Amino acid sequence: MKEHSIEIAVIPGDGIGKEVVPAAIQVLDQVNAQFGININWTWFDWGCERFHACGSMMPEDGLEQLARFDAIFLGAVGFPGVPDHVSLWGLLIPIRRRFEQYANVRPIRLLKGIRSPLRDRKPKDIDFIVVRENNEGEYSEIGGRLYTGTDREMCMQEAVFTRQGVDRILRYAFELAGTRKRRHVTSATKSNGIKITMPYWDERFADIAARYPGISTDQYHIDILAAHFVLHPDWFDVVVGSNLFGDILSDLGPAVAGTIGIAPSANINPDRTSPSMFEPVHGSAPDIAGKGMANPIGQIWSGAMMLEFLGHADAHDRIMHAIEAALADTQVLTPDMGGRGNTLSLAGQILEHCRRAE
C-alpha cells in the first residue's frame, strides 16, 4: 500500500525567500528520509515578480488552491517596486485570515554559538515565546481617505478587537504557558494612551487569567516592555500581544538574541480546520537578496516547527540539535552572526549534523 504523503504548499515569495526556502527544504528532506516522513512539496511562484507580470501577487483562486494542503511553507514577501502594503495584503495577510491562522507563535532563544548584543547574557537568560494575535487588531481594512489632494485631506483606520478574537489568542497563550516550566504570561498593552481598545484588552486578559490560577501573569505598556526586553529578557516566558505589538516585539526579541535571521514563526490554525503556515520572522531583505549570504536558520527552524505541528516532534528535535551543533563551527556562520559563511555553507553544515545524528 502506498504510504500517505503530507502535502505541503511551498511559496518562496520574494528576495531572500527564494534562497532560504530551497536551502531549508534540503535539510527537511534529509530529516524526513531519516524518520520515514513522506512529504510532497508543491511549489508556487507567487510574489512580487508575478505581480509585475500579471498584476496580482497570487491568482484569483489562490486561497482555494492552498486550502487542500496540510500546511504552507512560506519564505518572504515584498520587494522594491511593489508597495509593501500591496504585497502584504495581496498574499501573506489573506492567507493568515482565510485560514484562521489566528495564533502567530514566535519562539525567541539565544542559541549556543550566537553572541547576543547584550553583554553577559547566556542561553539560559533568553528563552521565551511571543504569541501574536494574527487576524485582527491594528491590521484592519476599515478606514479610508477623504478629500485627497486638498488641504482638507484626511485618512483614518480603525483597529478591531473582538471578544472572540481577543479571548482566543489569550487562551492560546495561557494554554501554551501551561506546557512550559515557568508557566508565566506577560501581556503587552498600552491602555494609558490607547483608551478604548487597550483597556478592553486588559479587561479580557484579567478575565482569562482568572481561569488559569496555576499560571502567573504580569502586564506592561508596550514602551517599557520594549525596554525590559533589552534590560531583563530573563523575565519572560510567554508574551502575548496584539497584531502590531506582537509583530514589533517579535523583531526586537530575536535582535536581543543575536539576529533576526534565526527567528522562526508559525501561523497556527489551532482548530486544524485549515492549513497552518510556517515562515521566518524576517522579510525579503532586498539589500542582501541574490548574494547568497542570507541566514537560512529562520527558515529551517520554521520547517522544524512545521514538522512538530504535523506530529513529528522527533524530527523537530533532530533539526534543532543540528542547528545548535552547526553554530559551533564559526567558519559557516553567516554575516548577520559575525561570520563569513553563506546560506549554502550553513545549511550544508546543518544537513551534515542531521546526517551524523542518524
Residue with cell 539589500: 287
Closest contact distance (angstroms) between CB of 78 and ligand GGG is 6
CB of 283 to ligand GGG, least distance (A): 3
Contact 142, 157 (CB under 8 A): yes
Q: Does 308 bind ligand GGG (CB under 6 A)?
A: no
Q: Which of 9, 20, 31, 77 is the binder for ligand GGG (CB under 6 A)?
A: 77
Binding to ligand GGG, residues 275-304 (CB under 6 A): 279-280, 282-284
Chain position carrying cell 483597556: 199
Near ligand GGG by CB under 6 A, which window of 46-54, 72-80, 144-152, 215-223? Answer: 72-80
Q: Give the list of residues 6+ apart from residue 255 with CB closer than 8 angstroms, or none.
A: 117
**CB under 6 A: which stretch of 75-83, 120-128, 160-168, 311-319 binds ligand GGG?**
75-83
- Kindly write out the interface string for residues 83-122 of this chain, putting x where it contacts ligand GGG by CB under 6 A and - elsewhere: -----x----------------------------------
233-252 residues in contact with ligand GGG (CB under 6 A) are 247
Nearer to ligand GGG, 37 or 74 (CB): 74
Instruction: Specify the residue, 37 or 76, whose C-beta has the smaller distance to ligand GGG.
Output: 76
Which of 21, 57, 76, 310 contacts ligand GGG by CB under 6 A? 76
Q: Are 31 and 104 in contact (CB under 8 A)?
A: no
Cβ closer to ligand GGG: 208 or 297? 297
Residues that bind ligand GGG (CB under 6 A): 76-78, 88, 247, 279-280, 282-284
